[in-house]
Amino acid sequence: MNDKIFLLSTAIFALFFFVSGLLDILNHFLVKTILFVGFFAIVINIILVVKSKSKDKKKLPPDSSR
């Protein structure tokens, strides 16, 4: 996953939250569950990508151009 996917998923999440507020359905259990799961899915994906990027940086060979 890259930054574009995070941006898109966050935008969809915010749009769903906005539409749910407009339709006054934020108090329904199913909507709360979808928002809760969506938020934690985004957070977990961000954590996993940051960890994988830091592992990739550690695997790079030293700069041999000098």
**The two structure tokens encoding residue 13:** 């999440």
Show Cβ contacts of residue 23 under 8 Å, excluding neighbours closer than 6 positions. Answer: none
Q: To the nearest whole number, what is the mean pLDDT of the chain? A: 83
Give the domain ranges of the chain: 3-53
Q: Binning pLDDT at 50, 70 and 90, where does residue 60 land?
A: low
For the chain, what is the radius of gyration of the CA atoms?
18
Q: Average of pLDDT values for 45-49?
A: 86
pTM of the model: 0.69
Please report the pLDDT score of residue 51 as a whole number: 85
Distance, CA of 21 to CA of 48 (rounded, Å):
30
How buried is 49 (Cβ within 10 angstroms: 0-12 exposed, 13-18 middle, 19+ buried)? middle
pLDDT at 6 over 90: no
